[in-house]
Chain A
């Protein structure tokens, strides 16, 4: 055995639990074979945690699915071997593989919303998983299900066993999925981005619990993730994957503090937590992009940089379910109580100074997106006012509309926010044309200038969104927002769905354009390190209110509010670089 493999607690010299040698999993396509996994070799000792890191498309998930024998048609393992305790898994019949799945190797997936069957109770789903490998009576299965839920720290398991997935929160659902994966005491669990869909504090809890369970049960883990910090906090060893290959593998601390391979270094350099706040990220590129076209809108009556610009005053947003006809009559005649709504934003007052970047941080459901949408004039506040430079953002009346073009928005999902049937040139030109910022004759040149400014080839203007990658689409979305020549841009999780290297490029783009155009930004994010890097001021939102607000540095270094402290403590931290 190499000295990098850990010896398990039992003390016996480790024979590898799993040995993967030269694994090649290919997917035939119309354009030839897609070599998703192309010659991957590694081994795992019993009880060891291996972190498998890489960006989307690196083949890390496919490696996991290859091990458990669940490659979707028409993909197949074309070469290599996967040995589980010396037994070859490649080429096993479906029946033999199924006997291993769930029993010796099990798997936890990214999104617990999608993995659990919404129409079966938790108890039933656990029973099905139990019945897959043993004959068990319904009563015993229930007993075991309750124990399994208790093991993953679900309170009142006797009650919760009859719950359906929708009655659980995201973190609880993932715990259920982990309980199912642990049912037969497998020797290896493959976790495919198990905490990516969860809030930081839940993620921290699940991470801690997983570590404990693994130590307690002696289970080996393959932890697949794009997040280096998370991997560093759980893995004994780390393997970095790029385009189907493992470029670097070794002890976690060594790989993350003294990376040998260029790609690993690039990944680490792309992390905002590794750079000084406000600086361009090292590997982000895009520094030499063309300057944006000159602004047409008058900038004369703008207040000086640093003075209050966008003022949100006691903004409240309630989402209410309109009662039906009869319910309404009943409420009016006093027979029934009004339906209680959801108070998404509860009287928030905050001021964005001209030229500053304000970070809105919070977990899902904290109201940060709703506040951002109100600031951008997309959502009508239930009460309160939002004024830009003293002017209301929305018109008065029964159906208020946004009346300024000086605020624009960039959304999270660049796949959903661009109309797939329009050419990107038209997408970018649509708003400026409608508001007469450019004439029809000037539009093509204007669009080309903007595409160049966001680092895209100007000749792409007549392509459709589906021809671009996620990062390119987000650039298009940025060009579309900025082509309206706004002063304020509300960015709602603009980098949340992007890989780290792409994220670094977009962050660099925002930093550069912000200083070139004197933009004021509201930057909504759940990622505290990105916010730290980009924002001058930070507001922490919790249950519809701002619990703490101030300069970014002091808040991160000396948080005052309990919630802020908890939030910051939950963020997994990378070990510092060795230099």
Chain B
């Protein structure tokens, strides 16, 4: 097990280094930040001074090394636009995205998996058929449209839910969270629901397919023959057996939602990372883009590591092979 973790960490470091190089080069292909940074009527001297200040006159590889060195010290540079340290900027936005994403993914899993298991358990019932039809809708309806509909129905027509923003926040360990206040929670419901829709459908379908297959297996027959109740069969045997593909998808979805909740955050003006990255791309705020992309790579690596460790926890057959 220890060797496995070590191996994965080693791989993670390689991926991070490769990612940093890719991100750095990629971002350099996008426009010239100087044009954004200083007014067009600045003198050539001021221009040169600013270029030198940001180290933009050095060759690319020197800039990259300097950039790597700064990252190692935890310094991602200052945002050109906000003129504050990027790490601070991202940290101020990250909790908003984090709580929204977690709410969405947890909702999708905690509600979607039981529904999916029910649909797999009784595949021919009317409820199951309705659930499956709705899940196809969940796959095919575009996020932005669903978000707009949510706002129209709940915020505009019925007026029972706020249309955007985070609402009241509570500061915990120096960061602001919405989910601790009632007002914040009510602001979270619609965007979380919107974000969850696709994952919800995915979880339902996965759980259903797995359950349906397993209900015909000898494992389930044997458990039933021993007199286990249907609930025990489902909760102890089936759930454990279908959990491995579910955890995989959970991990992937958590990562991609954290990184790309842009559409939902924009529609509900949720001040999260997604909005930040869109803003920084339009204003060519390089340090923010670089830091953000690095963060996303890191997130995926960490999530995948956790998923792999969870596999070993869920399936004893994997423990031995990798020990």
Contact = CB atoms under 8 A, between A and B. Distances in A.
A129 B226 contact: yes
Interface stretch (A79-87, A101-109, A198-206): A101-109
Interface in A92-150: 94, 98-103, 106-107, 109-111, 114-121, 124, 128-129, 131-133
A40 interface: no
A117 B227 contact: no
A73 B215 CA distance: 11
B82 interface: no
A117 B229 contact: no
Query: Which of B10, B221, B230, B320 counts the most A-chain CB atoms under 10 A from its CB?
Result: B221
B225 A68 contact: yes
B316 A164 contact: yes
A557 interface: no
A164 B227 contact: no
Nearest to A129: B226
Contacts of B10: 326
B219 A115 contact: yes
B69 to A, nearest CB: 27
B117 to A, nearest CB: 16
Contact of A114 (B217, B232, B315): B217
Given A70-B221, A115-B219, A119-B241, A132 B226 contact: yes
What secondary structure prevails in chain B residues at the interface with A?
helix
Interface in B181-238: 216-219, 221-230, 232, 236-237
B245 to A, nearest CB: 13
B219 A116 contact: yes
Contacts of A110: 218
Nearest to B216: A72
A120 B236 contact: yes
Q: How large is the interface on B (under 10, 10 to 19, 20 to 34, 35 or more residues)?
A: 20 to 34
A119 B229 CA distance: 19
A172 B314 CA distance: 23
Contact of A107 (B219, B222, B241): B222
A120 B240 contact: yes
Contact of B224 (A70, A164, A180, A326): A70
A102 B227 contact: yes
A100 B232 CA distance: 16
A393 interface: no
Interface string B305-323: 0000000001111001000
Interface in A160-216: 164, 166-167, 177, 180-181, 183-184
B226 A180 contact: yes
B7 interface: yes
Interface in A271-326: 324, 326
A102 B228 contact: yes
Given A102-B228, A128-B228, A132-B228, A117 B223 contact: yes
A103 B236 CA distance: 20
Nearest to A113: B218
Contact of A70 (B7, B225, B314, B317): B225
B237 to A, nearest CB: 5
Nearest to A64: B225
B225 A128 contact: no
Contact of B227 (A124, A132, A167, A324): A132
A101 B217 CA distance: 18
B113 to A, nearest CB: 16
Interface in B56-86: none
Interface of B: 7, 10, 124, 216-219, 221-230, 232, 236-237, 240-241, 314-317, 320
Given A101-B225, A129-B228, 5 more contacts: A68-B225, A114-B219, A118-B317, A166-B316, A183-B226
12 contacts: A98-B229, A102-B227, A115-B218, A116-B222, A117-B219, A119-B315, A119-B316, A120-B236, A132-B229, A180-B226, A181-B226, A326-B7
